Structure 1
Amino acid sequence: MAHLHPDGHPLEIHTLDAFDRAVAGGSLVGRRVQSLDLTGRTRQLLATDTTAAVFLGCRLAPDAAAKVRTDGALVFPPVPDVPFDPYRGLLYTPGELFEGLDRHGYAATPDARTYAWFQRTRQDGDIFASMLRAVHDDAMSDALDERLAGVPVVGVMGGHAMARGTDAYAGAARLGRGLTRAGLTVATGGGPGAMEAANLGAYAAPHPDGMLDEALALLGKEPSYAPSIGDWARAAFEVRARWPEGGDSIGIPTWFYGHEPPNAFAGHIAKYFANATREDGLLARCTAGVVYLPGAAGTVQEIFDNATPNYYMSRGEPTPMVLVNRTHWTEHLPAWPLLRALAEDRAMAARIALVDTVEEAADTLLRLAER
């Protein structure tokens, strides 16, 4: 939900257009201005009341910075020598995270450089670095809430090891396409494997069915991000270049598992440093339910992270949970018997299901949501 100023306009300003509209209204009193280069807006700042405003990571000319501080505004200057913006007000796009991939390789991209910074700073206990990570992750959560306000979100969870070119990957992509065509916003953990497949399906949703088949064939030439993240990512951007307009979806990955790159098919990416914040935030925002494809420890954790609030829910309705692949969830990793035992005599009992195939999953989830 967008935060509102007492005058009814958005409290936070994330773009230069929004800044110009606010200044045209005559006041920046009490506004929060995030991560903008305002060096070209000095004249406007000198002529505008900025009392109690907060400038987070904005670039200001010296005289503008002096003036707004005199007004009583708080100025948090940009942080030098870090490969990310801790104050950013918007979610990432794939193009931002993979910028420079074609020219310099994956290691030079903002995504890879941020992971390298995280690897260094998490070991040395520097309180400044940990503060920057916390500020960044809070900014991500704020941007995610604004993006998803009032939007029915369905999560698709599953393992990162699901390879392109497999039937399982194609099935997960068709699932993402079907959920998106049903009017839901698909959210995943934002990484490779089942996560990428579901985001790809959402991207393919506005196109004729044959587009997804062609995209799957192109991607199958680079089945895994190992050994080359660069080649894996370039194949995805080749698909995006061939079909530049795609459906939207959300990816929520983490630099905690930075050896797993984000996928390029989520339209908006909330990438976190803290995996616990990322996991909880992903599931909490899946208001329309969650589909669980076969996975390992991470997917099992997500099942029971979601089951816990459903089990204790005393108000509202539990979110639907659909587990896909009976053999996997009853024999290989028997999460289903435990989930069903927990649900007995609880409201969540009517909102859980186990299905054999991905083809059943979307219809089952929608049916459970109507109960």
Structure 2
Amino acid sequence: MPQLSDRAQDPAPDREIETLAEFDDVVARGALGGYRVQAVDLTARTPDLLAVATSGAVFLGCPMEPGGLAKVRADGALVFPPVPDLPFDPYRGLLYTADALFEHLDQGYDATPDALAYAWFQRTKADGDIFASMLRSVHDDAVSDALDEHLAGARVVGVMGGHAMARGTSAYTGAARLGRTLARDGLTVATGGGPGAMEAANLGAYLAPVEDAALDEALELLAKTPSFTPSVTDWALAAFDVRDRWPSGGDSIGIPTWFYGHEPPNPFAGHIAKYFANATREDGLLARCNGGVVFLPGAAGTVQEIFDNATPNYYESRGEPAPMVLVNRAHWTEKLPTWPLLQSLAKDRPMESRIALVDTVEEAPAALARLAV
């Protein structure tokens, strides 16, 4: 096996090449040694590969012509070739977009890359094939790397809540307005990336840059297709109709999973970090919410997220505890009495001053700001 140089073994973060433009820029400045080239199609760059030194470089899933491939291997570069017949790229260097995941939606949701990736996951997750499990792990690690790069320097606030929250309900409207308020406050909204409360918060962030009336109009349009059941296709098409009407939307993050394949990603998140491993996705989502988390009413999944977030706050394993705001007193003290347990855990610990329970979603941004002081 080729031996990597010291520089290749410990590259600086800016030594990742994730687009053809970045590749061209590096080649123009000299050798590729020490760079990691991720999922860049180099079939049209054979002359560059032949002309530039590539010793110590790592090529991850980069298509190449045979001549270029032979040369970089002869140089001693490490090459992980593309894996044929996969509905996803395990070496991807960038986050997903809704347009990419929902490509071919006009042919029905089952024809989209998102649905095809889930179908592949269903076929392979139970057969014990170590190659398939390795591909899933490589993919999820690449997504985490891309997410960290995208969020560098951002103040991220999570909005958690149930996927069953239907369009057209007052709860959905409240979650959308919350997302808009947080985005207008300069925060990056991050959600679990699915339907319901997650979609609503991403929708609000998407429409934050435009006039207030746009959100009311969008909510009215979406209410005609309240849920992703029975038809994901119709649900997603309604969202894309809203995006087409207001094409200059704001950015936010969705972090969904193929583990819950019955839940499609929502099209309003500007960037999507989709995972195969739900545990990696859950922990990664909450760990990146350095500005705190707002928990809207939900069921088992949201309860799990509350205590997934409470644990590092309790032990201060991520440093200073991040704010936690639970919305809807009756829900969290009577229907699912999570708040009393959270209070008991927080008592006499630094996190005690970083938790709050509010009655309405309109109170959440102020509570979040108060806890962050």
Where on the TM-score scale, by shorter chain, does this alignment land: which range? over 0.9
Give distance in 2, aligned partners of 1:86 and 1:310: 32
1:124 aligns with 2:130: no
Letter matched to residue 35 of structure 1: A
Judge conservation of contact 1:202–1:247 (CA < 8 Å) in 2. yes
Give distance in 1, aligned partners of 2:347 and 2:64: 60
Give distance in 2, aligned partners of 1:313 and 1:58: 41
TM-score (norm 2): 0.96
User: 20-29 or 313-322: which moved more?
Assistant: 313-322
| Coordinate RMSD, CA, aligned | 1.5
Give distance in 1, aligned partners of 2:60 and 2:11: 21
> Measured at CA, do residues 73 and 292 of structure 1 come closer, stay the same or move farther in structure 2, by a change above 3 Å?
same
Equivalent residue for 1:18? 22
Which of 63, 79, 84 is equivalent to 2:67?
63
Which of 315, 320, 323 is equivalent to 1:317?
320
Judge conservation of contact 1:5–1:31 (CA < 8 Å) in 2. no
**CA deviation profile, 1:289-338 (whole Å, cap 9, x unmatched):** 00000000000000001101111117842100000000000000000000
Give the SS at the match of 2:325.
strand
**CA deviation profile, 1:107-152 (whole Å, cap 9, x unmatched):** 0000000000000101211111001000000000000010011110
Give distance in 2, aligned partners of 1:316 and 1:259: 35
Equivalent residue for 1:155? 158
1:1-371 aligned at under 5 Å gives the runs 10-102=14-106, 104-313=107-316, 316-370=319-373
Where do 4+ consecutive residues of structure 1 move more than 6 Å? Answer: 3-9
Letter matched to residue 120 of structure 2: W
Judge conservation of contact 1:4–1:10 (CA < 8 Å) in 2. no
The sequence identity of aligned pairs, in percent, is 75
Give distance in 1, aligned partners of 2:90 and 2:44: 22
**CA deviation profile, 1:84-104 (whole Å, cap 9, x unmatched):** 0000000000000000001x1
Give the SS at the match of 1:291.
strand
Judge conservation of contact 1:191–1:263 (CA < 8 Å) in 2. yes
User: 25-34 or 315-324: which moved more?
Assistant: 315-324
Give distance in 2, aligned partners of 1:199 and 1:5: 39
Judge conservation of contact 2:11–2:35 (CA < 8 Å) in 1. no
> Measured at CA, do residues 8 and 111 of structure 1 come closer, stay the same or move farther in structure 2, by a change above 3 Å?
closer
Judge conservation of contact 2:8–2:34 (CA < 8 Å) in 1. no
Judge conservation of contact 2:312–2:318 (CA < 8 Å) in 1. no
Consecutive unaligned residues of structure 2, counting only runs of 5 or more, are 1-6
Give distance in 2, aligned partners of 1:34 and 1:55: 6
Deviation, 1:233, is: 0.1
TM-score (norm 1): 0.97
Give distance in 1, aligned partners of 2:340 and 2:222: 36
Letter matched to residue 324 of structure 2: M
Consecutive unaligned residues of structure 1, counting only runs of 5 or more, are none
Judge conservation of contact 1:34–1:88 (CA < 8 Å) in 2. yes
Give distance in 1, aligned partners of 2:161 and 2:245: 27
